[in-house]
Amino acid sequence: MTPPAIEEHAVSGRDSGPYAITTGPDGALWFTMVHSGRIGRLNPGHEPTSHQLAPDSGPTVISNGPDGALWFTEYRAHRIGRITTAGRVTEFTLPTAECGPFGIAAGPDGALWFTETAADRIGRLTTDGTATEYPLPRTGAFPSAIAAAGDAMWFTMNQANAIGRIGMNGRITVHELPTEAAAPVGIAVSPDGSVWFTEIAAGQIGRMAPGGRITEYPLPDRSARPHAVTTDADGTAWFTEWGGNRVGSVTSDGKLAVHDLPTPASEPHGITVGPDGALWTALEVGALARIEPDTTRTTMNTEQRNAS
């Protein structure tokens, strides 16, 4: 069987730290550079460009907004940023100081929802800059990534070993994970409503079916440190192995494949479906990798651990 073709595209110096990535409304790839405080843009086939923020701001996760702009978290500066496709930047200070915003995603209500890792809160920011914060029912939970689903947002609670759901009314429900100390990070919702998440400390990918049943898929390398996850149009989950230097995929019936990246120790983080239909991941060593899905890829059935 033929593995997918993987190409790497240099977009910055090795010290800039490309971290999260998304496809913007202009059909380009937009990504954060956490170490240099920049927002980058790559139109495949063209030279990359970037926009400088405060060097120590720590831009982390970036997402499409409801207003045709890109929105991102500034983890070190404790702000939310907005950048238009023309490169104009606006920044919003949050109500809670030193809150450590990390994940961000547009909600079904037309606002931006984000996690506050250091404050145990989920935040909501309207496009005109009005912020609301919702305390979690756990302390020390370290809420991390967040994703939209129907009429709610789903998020990981990295240190509480759970995933959470928050409705548009602010009501929060917590779902415990079967594996202890799994430390979930990335989260995504597939077209069928399944919630996929990475378990960075357990070396597993988790899936919560629409009915609430959780299935965990152990990776071949349990020390791979799976980090980010996204889903394609078929509902397949694609994820990065930060510690294993790989990109992988898993289907809802447990068919799993992992693929080595060309550059050793490239530190893959964010992953998204690109404007060309391929998967793109941000490599902290200064590049974006393009993975062309191959329906003939070698798959392996994984042992599944189920929980109701």
Give residue-wise pLDDT tens across range 143-201: 999 999 989 999 999 999 999 999 999 999 999 999 999 999 999 999 999 999 999 99
pLDDT of residue 97: 95
| Residue 160 token pair | 């509480």
The residues that bridge with 134 in the sheet, in sequence order, are 122
CA distance 168 to 165: 10
> What is the CATH number for 229?
2.130.10.10
> Is residue 154 situated within a structural domain?
yes
Structural domain for 24, as ranges: 6-307
Q: Is 269 a catalytic residue?
A: yes
Task: Label residue 228 exposed, middle or buried (CB < 10 Å: 0-12, 13-18, 19+).
Answer: buried
> Is residue 223 situated within a structural domain?
yes
CA distance 228 to 197: 8
SS3 252: coil
Q: From the candidates 35, 78, 227, 269, which is the catalytic residue?
A: 269
Q: Report the domain count for the chain.
A: 1
SS3 304: coil
**Measured torsion, CA atoms of residues 292, 295, 297, 300, in degrees rounded to the nearest 10:** 130
Instruction: Give CA separation, 207 vs 81, 254, 282, in Å.
Output: 30, 10, 23
CA distance 81 to 48: 20
pLDDT of residue 4: 83
pLDDT of residue 294: 63
pLDDT of residue 300: 37
> Is residue 88 situated within a structural domain?
yes
> Is residue 35 situated within a structural domain?
yes
pLDDT of residue 188: 98
pTM: 0.94
- Which residues in the chain come in under a pLDDT of 70? 1-2, 294-308
Q: Indicate the residue type of 144.
A: S
> Is residue 20 situated within a structural domain?
yes
Q: Which residues contact 277 (CB under 8 A, 6 or more apart)?
A: 293
> Is residue 1 situated within a structural domain?
no
Closest to 189 measured CA to CA, from 160, 232, 249 = 232
* Residue 181 Ramachandran class (φ > 0 left, ψ -120 to 50 alpha, else beta): left
CA distance 289 to 300: 23
> Is residue 107 situated within a structural domain?
yes
> Is residue 39 situated within a structural domain?
yes
pLDDT of residue 296: 33
